[in-house]
């Protein structure tokens, strides 16, 4: 992020071109081999007049997280919230303490799930809403896109699943969130820099490995849906080649513009 925020310097210029031009929109999707889609009904991204779509994790996934954290060995880690501490840490005075907390957490989740807000911080929720950089919805489909530019790697951890042994793929989160949001056809892909250094991690075969690496195991029926949704990647350079009216700013131009603003002030 920072000076080289891809949402500002990559996503917005792209969306400015394809948002109001259906032919350009179709040409963009054809780069990732998505064809035959209808006219979009809504666009969500970090723009001047819109924001990113917030996708809620499924109730089933959140329950699995509760079960996982009720059994994980946290060692001597300090947990401030009393309820979460009861769930995550053994109590020598009460052998059933964690089981009781797990049952309470699941019960609370069942009650609150439908009204759950992205900004809420609940002791029994171990994964928040996910925000793809681009979310486009049509009559019978949704597009989910994650844009990367200067990031040295894809995102594979969350706030709570963050140890070396744990794994949570950002794109899988996006797809699961989209599948939870709608029954429409889901298409998902990355836009990355051609020199990012991890293009080999973004093909379909590797994505299958990412799915199997998930700490919270995914059922076979859902694995198939996730894999079918994933279309791979396209590069910013390829987009710039196809759309001659798009000229993404280079890092040097962004830095130069920043210096010019400082001088003016």
Q: Over range 231-246, report the average pLDDT.
A: 95
pTM of the model as a whole = 0.93
pLDDT of residue 131 exceeding 90: yes
Give strand pairing partners of 235. 192
Cα separation, 140 vs 92, in Å, equals 54
Q: Cα separation of 81 and 122, whole Å?
A: 10
pLDDT band at 259 (very low <50, low <70, confident <90, very high): very low
- Do 156 and 168 touch, CB atoms closer than 8 A? yes
* pLDDT value at residue 258: 59
DSSP 8-state symbol, 114: G
Segment 185-206, tens digit of pLDDT: 999 999 999 999 999 999 999 9
Cβ neighbourhood burial of 126 (10 Å; 0-12, 13-18, 19+): buried
Over 90: is that where the pLDDT of 105 sits? yes
| pLDDT at 262 (0 to 100) | 34
**Phi and psi dihedrals of 86, rounded to 5?**
-65, -40
SS3 state at 91: strand
Mean pLDDT, rounded, for 94-103: 94
Largest CA distance in the chain: 69
Distance between CA 33 and CA 232 in Å, rounded? 9
Task: Report the distance separating Cα 195 and Cα 255, nearest Å.
Answer: 20
Alpha helices in the chain (DSSP H): 6, 12-18, 22-30, 59-69, 82-88, 97-112, 170-181, 204-213, 220-229, 236-242, 251-264
Q: With bands split at pLDDT 50, 70 and 90, how would you rate the model's confidence at 79?
A: confident
Across the range 113-120, mean pLDDT stands at 92
Contact call for residues 145 and 133 (beta carbons, < 8 A): yes
Of how many residues is the chain composed? 265
- CA atoms of 3 and 127, how far apart (whole Å): 28
Q: Rounded to a whole number, what is the distance in angstroms from the first to the last CA of the chain?
A: 24
Give the mean model confidence (pLDDT) for residues 51-65: 97
By mean pLDDT, which of 85-89, 126-130, 152-156, 201-205 is the weakest?
85-89
Residues 6+ apart with CB under 8 A from 185: 140, 141, 142
Q: Could you report the per-residue pLDDT of 10-20, keeping only the tens digit for each?
A: 999 999 999 98
pLDDT exceeds cutoff 50 at 207: yes
Percentage above 70 pLDDT, the chain: 95
């Amino acid at each position: 992020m920072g000076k080289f925020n891809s949402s500002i310097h990559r996503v917005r210029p792209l969306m400015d071109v394809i948002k109001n031009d259906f032919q350009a929109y179709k040409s963009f999707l054809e780069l990732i081999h998505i064809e035959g889609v209808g006219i979009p009904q809504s666009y969500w991204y970090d723009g001047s007049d819109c924001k990113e779509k917030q996708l809620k994790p499924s109730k089933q996934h959140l329950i699995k997280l509760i079960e996982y954290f009720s059994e994980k060995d946290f060692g001597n880690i300090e947990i401030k919230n009393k309820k979460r501490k009861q769930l995550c840490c053994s109590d020598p005075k009460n052998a059933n303490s964690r089981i009781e907390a797990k049952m309470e957490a699941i019960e609370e989740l069942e009650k609150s799930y439908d009204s759950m807000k992205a900004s809420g911080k609940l002791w029994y929720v171990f994964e928040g809403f996910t925000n793809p950089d681009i979310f486009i919805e049509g009559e019978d489909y949704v597009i989910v896109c994650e844009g990367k530019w200067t990031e040295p790697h894809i995102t594979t951890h969350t706030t709570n699943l963050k140890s070396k042994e744990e794994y949570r793929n950002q794109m899988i989160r996006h797809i699961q969130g989209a599948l939870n949001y709608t029954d429409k056809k889901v298409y998902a892909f990355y836009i990355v820099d051609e020199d990012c250094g991890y293009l080999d991690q973004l093909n379909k075969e590797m994505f299958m490995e990412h799915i199997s690496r998930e700490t919270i195991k995914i059922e076979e029926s859902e694995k198939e849906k996730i894999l079918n949704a994933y279309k791979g990647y396209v590069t910013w350079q390829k987009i710039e080649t196809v759309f001659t009216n798009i000229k993404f700013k280079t890092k040097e131009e962004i830095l130069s513009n920043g210096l010019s603003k400082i001088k003016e002030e």
